[in-house]
Structure formats: structure tokens, C-alpha cells
């Protein structure tokens, strides 16, 4: 995805106000009705439609009129909201070149006012596997419509929390600077991805260092789960830095041993292929067990401090519930290659999402949320997941017969309620009439091009 940050300079306060209104609407709408956006943004002189057109032109929004006239954020739109918030917080002031393209992330250089260069990782969960996500309805049942926002935000939060905790325990990881929405800011690692290294001065020492880190992770109760030459950085002095943490699991995970062995195997395989290191245990050696343990550590022989890092992780705002959610996702996507992926054609299930509503206090809070000043932007941190969770809880409670939902509904502005009911009826009518277009089936897939514009420097100050 191309991140043309120059666009940021031309976006007005109203543009961000409307973009924020769409983000807010996406808490309960897959496609946010234009009328609702107008209502939330409540620009003077009814200027919302003009602004929507501008945002659409810059590909920050996607327009979908297959069921009703509505919009959703693109990844680029979500990027801009995160970038704007972090810039307002003073975390950085310019975006430079793209330095990495992961399967589900884009990494850019950013710089602050002092000229310190850092790395910005924008998570893009679902970019390569959204069809698979959508098919997992057991897990994403009530949230398929916002799953890419929700999951990418979770991935960023998890990565930030783990990086911070690992750093505090002396692991060689980047310094976790800040996090907003799906975006993590961290220190820039000086060095190269290990996969690019053809020769080492001390391959044995480097191997021991790397395997030592896997063991130390386990001793601290953690398994990296994607420990390979792409997620290890090395500098000219052969110092190691480990990156990429959204898929880490606890040693108490039911597949922990398998993940641990897989991490170890990856490293052994890479060293034997690239640096011709031999890992055969010597059969004559009476001490061969201990020796092969040193080369190929066994999960069962490691003294593991389960839950050691939990406190720190939760302190960073990463809850057990969020941990479970992201784990289910990464397992389904990365741990089950041979699972059949269903077509992601929408079902009646999806239409139901429009039946949930924003409540009046959301709208009253909007002015505060939208002003994007330094003090207020913590509130404005795009915690879509929390709201989704609230919504899910209230749905669950409703099914249980609790009166929580009734309480909420008393707050709803009757005029808004009426408008939404009308939109809902219209949406259901259209859906029943069977108007399913390709556009609606593919409505999640960003139209943004490939994200491999590595060489293009996009420097912008604002």
C-alpha cells in the first residue's frame, strides 16, 4: 500500500472530523451510512458530502452503494488517523521511506523534531488472509465487519506490550516508543535482516546467542512462534536484535512444545544451510545428551516461569481477553495452512450488523474526540476493539435477558433512532431483494496497490 503522506498536508480539520466520524460509525457498521456520517460529523452548512468526496479522492475512504449509500475506512484512512494522533502527541513529525514489507505489515522510517529516526510498523492483518478471517465465523461471529480494524489494533497493542516487557527484562529487542490504533513506533534497529547475511565471522557464537534467546524466552514463559531469519536483525559486530512479536504465546499454551521446537528447528536449518554448521550429535560421546541439548534445547528440560511477564503485559493495557482473540486469529491463519478457506460471500448474518446503533452519548462525545489536541487524543485512541467488545457483551447480555441493553437504549436520541431504523429497513429491503454485487462481496479488500515501493522516498513535514 502506498502511503502518500503528502496528502496529510492538504487535509483540513473538517477532513479529519469526517474521517473520525467514519471510524466511529464503523464501531457498529460495516459500511457506515452517509446520513449517519453527516449526523456524527455535523459540519456547519452541511459540508460533509463535499468532504467525503475529497476523502474518497485520496482513497482514505471506500464508497459502497450496493445496499445503501455508505462509506468505510480504507487502511490508508486508518493509517492517517493513527499518524495524525501520534504526530499531535509529538512522537514524530515526518515520515520517510518504507524500510520493510511484511506479510501483514508495512514498515516506514519516521523522524521526530530532534532528527531521531525511528521505525513505524503499520499492522495490516487480513491483508493477505481476510477471506480466511471472514470464514472463521465461530470466532468472529459478531465482529466480522470490523475485524481488520480490530485485529490490526490488537496486533499492534500486543506487539507494543511484548516489546516493552521484553526490553525491561533485558532482551535484545527494539525500544517500544508508542502505539496508536494499528501503528507501533519503535527504535530503528541498526543492522540487516539475518536472511541477507551470507557470511559470519563467528557462526558458532552467533548460533549460540540466538538459541540462547529462544531458551531465555521460554524461561520467561514465552515462545516467539515466528523465530526465523526474517525476524532476527544482525549488525556488523554480529549483535542480534529480535523483532516481530504479535504471534508470541505463553509456554502454557497447549501447542507450546510444538511451537518451541519449530522455532529451534528454523534456526538450526538456516545455520546448517547458510553457514554449513553441523548439528549431528556424536554417537560415541557418552555425554551426547547434554551436548545435543546445548545445540538443540529440549522444551521439557527448560525451567519455565509461567506467567512471568503477564503483569507487565496487562500493565500495557493488553488483557487476557485480547490475548485470546489475537491468538485464535494467528493460529487459524498461520497454524492451519491446509484448512480450507471458504468463500467470503456475505450472508444474512452480515446484514444484522446494521441493527446495532451508536448511542447518543457517543455522538455528544464526538466534538471532544475529534479535536485531536494533545490532551484529548488519548481518548481518541481508536479503541474500536473495546467498543466492539462492549457491543458483543451487550448482545450477549441481551440474550441472557439482562436489562443492560434497555438502559443503553434509553439514552438514544429518538430522532437518530428513527433515522437509523429507516436506514435499517432500507438496507434489509435491498438485501432481501438479493442485490449482491461483487463490490459488496469484496468490500473489505483495500484497493491500494502493492506495498513494495521501497525505494520511493516520501518525506513530508507537517
Sequence-distant (6+) residues with CB within 8 A of 223 are 217, 248, 249, 250, 251, 253, 256, 259, 260, 263
| Nearer to ligand ADP (CB atom), residue 47 or residue 193 | 193
| Nearer to ligand ADP (CB atom), residue 34 or residue 242 | 242
Catalytic residues: 226
Give the one entry of ligand ADP, Mg ion, none that residue 75 binds, where binding means its C-beta sits below a cut-off of 5 to 8 angstroms depending on kind. Answer: none
Q: Which residues of 249-277 are buried (b: 16+ CB within 10 A; e: fewer)?
A: bbbebeebeebbebbbebbbebbeebeeb
Give the one entry of Mg ion, ligand ADP, none that residue 126 binds, where binding means its C-beta sits below a cut-off of 5 to 8 angstroms depending on kind. Answer: none
Nearest distance from C-beta of residue 352 to ligand ADP, angstroms = 33
Specify whether the CB–CB gap between 31 and 424 falls below 8 A.
no
Helix pair angle (34-41, 48-57), 10° resolution = 110
Nearest distance from C-beta of residue 382 to ligand ADP, angstroms = 20
If DSSP codes are grouped into helix, strand and coil, which group holds residue 185? strand
In this structure, what DSSP letter does residue 141 have? Answer: G
What mask of x and - would describe binding to ligand ADP in positions 97 to 126, judged by CB under 6 A? --xx-xxxx-x-----------x-x-----
**Site membership for ligand ADP, residue 194 (CB under 6 A):** no
Nearest distance from C-beta of residue 102 to ligand ADP, angstroms = 1
Point out the residue whose Cβ comes nearest to ligand ADP: 102
- Nearest Cα neighbor of 25 from 54, 66, 68, 87 is 68
**Site membership for ligand ADP, residue 172 (CB under 6 A):** no
| Nearer to ligand ADP (CB atom), residue 119 or residue 166 | 119
Q: How far is CA 415 from CA 30, 32, 200, 361, 362, in A?
A: 22, 18, 70, 14, 15
**Site membership for ligand ADP, residue 230 (CB under 6 A):** yes
Q: How far is CA 209 from CA 232, 234, 238, 244, 401, in A?
A: 11, 11, 10, 18, 57
**Site membership for Mg ion, residue 231 (CB under 5 A):** yes
**Site membership for Mg ion, residue 244 (CB under 5 A):** yes
| Nearer to ligand ADP (CB atom), residue 174 or residue 382 | 174
Which range touches ligand ADP (CB under 6 A), out of 20-28, 96-104, 202-210, 410-418?
96-104
Nearest distance from C-beta of residue 301 to ligand ADP, angstroms = 29
- Distance, in Å, from the CA atom of 387 to the CA atom of 374, rounded to the nearest integer, reads 22
What mask of x and - would describe binding to Mg ion in positions 181 to 220, judged by CB under 5 A? ----------------------------------------
**Site membership for ligand ADP, residue 243 (CB under 6 A):** yes
Specify whether the CB–CB gap between 169 and 211 falls below 8 A.
no
Angle (nearest 5°) at CA 306 between 301 and 309? 125
If DSSP codes are grouped into helix, strand and coil, which group holds residue 161? helix
Point out the residue whose Cβ comes nearest to Mg ion: 244
| Nearer to Mg ion (CB atom), residue 29 or residue 121 | 121
Which parts of this chain interact with Mg ion (CB under 5 A)? Answer: 102, 230-231, 244
Given the rule CB under 6 A, which residues bind ligand ADP? 99-100, 102-105, 107, 119, 121, 174, 186, 188-189, 193, 230-231, 243-244
Amino acid at each position: 500500500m502506498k502511503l502518500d503522506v503528502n496528502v496529510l498536508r492538504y487535509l483540513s480539520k473538517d477532513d479529519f472530523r469526517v474521517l473520525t466520524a467514519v471510524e466511529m460509525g464503523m464501531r457498529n457498521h460495516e459500511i457506515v451510512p452517509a446520513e449517519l456520517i453527516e449526523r456524527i460529523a455535523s459540519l456547519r452548512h452541511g459540508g460533509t458530502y463535499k468532504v467525503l468526496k475529497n476523502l474518497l479522492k485520496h482513497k482514505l475512504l471506500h464508497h459502497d452503494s450496493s445496499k445503501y449509500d455508505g462509506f468505510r475506512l480504507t487502511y490508508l484512512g486508518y493509517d492517517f488517523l493513527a499518524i495524525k494522533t501520534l504526530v499531535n502527541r509529538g512522537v514524530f513529525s515526518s515520515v520517510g521511506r518504507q524500510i520493510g514489507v511484511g506479510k501483514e505489515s508495512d514498515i516506514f522510517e519516521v523522524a521526530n523534531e530532534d532528527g531521531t529516526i525511528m521505525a513505524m510498523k503499520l499492522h495490516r492483518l487480513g491483508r493477505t488472509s481476510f477471506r480466511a478471517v471472514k470464514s472463521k465465523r465461530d470466532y468472529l461471529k459478531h465482529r466480522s465487519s470490523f475485524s481488520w480494524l480490530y485485529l490490526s489494533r490488537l496486533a499492534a497493542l500486543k506487539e507494543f506490550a511484548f516489546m516493552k516487557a521484553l526490553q525491561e527484562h533485558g532482551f535484545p529487542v527494539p525500544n517500544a516508543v508508542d502505539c496508536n490504533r494499528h501503528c507501533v513506533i519503535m527504535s530503528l534497529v541498526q543492522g540487516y535482516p539475518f536472511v541477507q547475511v551470507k557470511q559470519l565471522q563467528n557462526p558458532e557464537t552467533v548460533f549460540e546467542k540466538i538459541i540462547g534467546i529462544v531458551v531465555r524466552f521460554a524461561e520467561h514463559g514465552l515462545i516467539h512462534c515466528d523465530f526465523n531469519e526474517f525476524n532476527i536483525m544482525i549488525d556488523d559486530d554480529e549483535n542480534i536484535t529480535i523483532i516481530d512479536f504479535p504471534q508470541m504465546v505463553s509456554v502454557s499454551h497447549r501447542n507450546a512444545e510444538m511451537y518451541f521446537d519449530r522455532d529451534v528447528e528454523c534456526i538450526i536449518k538456516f545455520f546448517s544451510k547458510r553457514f554449513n554448521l553441523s548439528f549431528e550429535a556424536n554417537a560415541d560421546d557418552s555425554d551426547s545428551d547434554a551436548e545435543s541439548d546445548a545445540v538443540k534445547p529440549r522444551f521439557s528440560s527448560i525451567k519455565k516461569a509461567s506467567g512471568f511477564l503477564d503483569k507487565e503485559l496487562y500493565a500495557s493495557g493488553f488483557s487476557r481477553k485480547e490475548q485470546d482473540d489475537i491468538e485464535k486469529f494467528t493460529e487459524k491463519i498461520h497454524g492451519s495452512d491446509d484448512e480450507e478457506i471458504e468463500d467470503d460471500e456475505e450472508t444474512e448474518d452480515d446484514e444484522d450488523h446494521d441493527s446495532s446503533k451508536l448511542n447518543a452519548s457517543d455522538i455528544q462525545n464526538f466534538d471532544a474526540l475529534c479535536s485531536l489536541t494533545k490532551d484529548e487524543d488519548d481518548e481518541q485512541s481508536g479503541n474500536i476493539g473495546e467498543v466492539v467488545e462492549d457491543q458483543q457483551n451487550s448482545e450477549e447480555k441481551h440474550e441472557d435477558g439482562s436489562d443492560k441493553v434497555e438502559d443503553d437504549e434509553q439514552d438514544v436520541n429518538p430522532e437518530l433512532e428513527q433515522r437509523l431504523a429507516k436506514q435499517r429497513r432500507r438496507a434489509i429491503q435491498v438485501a432481501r431483494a438479493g442485490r449482491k454485487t461483487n463490490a459488496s462481496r469484496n468490500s473489505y479488500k483495500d484497493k491500494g496497490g502493492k506495498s513494495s515501493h521501497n525505494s520511493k522516498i516520501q518525506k513530508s513535514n507537517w
